[in-house]
Amino acid sequence: MSPKDDLVPMLKKLRLSGVLQSLDLRTQQAVEDNLALSEFLYRLLADEVERREARQLMQRIRRASFEHAKTIEDFDFTFNGSVPKAKVLELATCAFVERHDNVLVVGPTGVGKSHLAQAFGHRACRAGFSVAYVGAHELLMQLRAARGDGSYDKRILRFTGPDVLIIDDLGLRGLAQDEPADLYEIVRNRYEHGSTIITSNRAIEEWAPMFGNPLLASAAMDRLLHHAHVLVIEGDSFRNPPTTRKKKTAAVVAEASR
């Protein structure tokens, strides 16, 4: 039996079996480069740290349940001049998450609101924060169902627990029945404990009337807007650009294909 055979059960017991993936390579490097034992050990353990961080990142991204794999690098700032690029890049540092600030992104359909929201979420995952993404309609539907089956307290933790909660497309339809109270409960529980990112086709001034109750609306909006970064985006839809832009795009594509 070789020393490596004896090493395997020890590494498994210490939960370091991933070290085996680079052990042979690092051993060969140590011999060829005449590395000190401390340098060999550092490189071997650095590989394991890198593997664990990559695995944890993938877990955070999977648990976030993003609708699409959107990143800041993928965003086309040249398409729409109204996108505040400097502010977007500042938010992409995720300093707002550390401060428990909110980000509210408003504008018409197709200007990149959901892209930016999910890109901020992806950045937060990379920075080590927990993230949850959900459409506004889906969130309220889940809470309505939870009220019916007695799992409300457990379900609401899904939306109040993460460091970052992304609520996409708030206001596509009005809030009905217990939905204003449910939305307020999430806002209240997350206030100064976590960051909430909300996208909406409605201007901020139109949010309060959705609650139907002036006191509830005031309490919710006061918490949402305190420590909030508001991005207002105007312009054309990425999905349906103006004819002139379509022609330019087609010309570029045709030129590239030659």
248 domain-assigned? no
Residues 6+ apart with CB under 8 A from 89: 72
Q: Residue 1's pLDDT is what? A: 54
Domain check: are 207 and 163 in the same one? yes
The CATH code of the domain that includes 224 is 3.40.50.300
Confidence (pLDDT) at 41: 87
Q: How confident is the model at residue 247 (pLDDT cuts 50, 70, 90)?
A: very low
Structural domain that includes position 86: 65-232
Q: Does residue 241 fall inside a structural domain?
A: no
Give the pLDDT band of residue 250 (cuts 50, 70, 90): very low
pTM of the model: 0.81
| Helical H segments across 83-240, by residue range | 85-91, 95-98, 113-126, 136-149, 152-160, 179-190, 207-210, 214-225
Q: pLDDT digit string (tens) for 101-159?
A: 999 999 988 888 999 999 999 999 999 999 999 999 999 999 999 988 989 988 899 99
pLDDT, tens digit (0-9, with 9 covering 90-100), for 24-34: 888 888 888 88
pLDDT in tens, 67-95: 888 999 999 888 877 888 999 999 999 99
Residue with token string 């070789």: 2
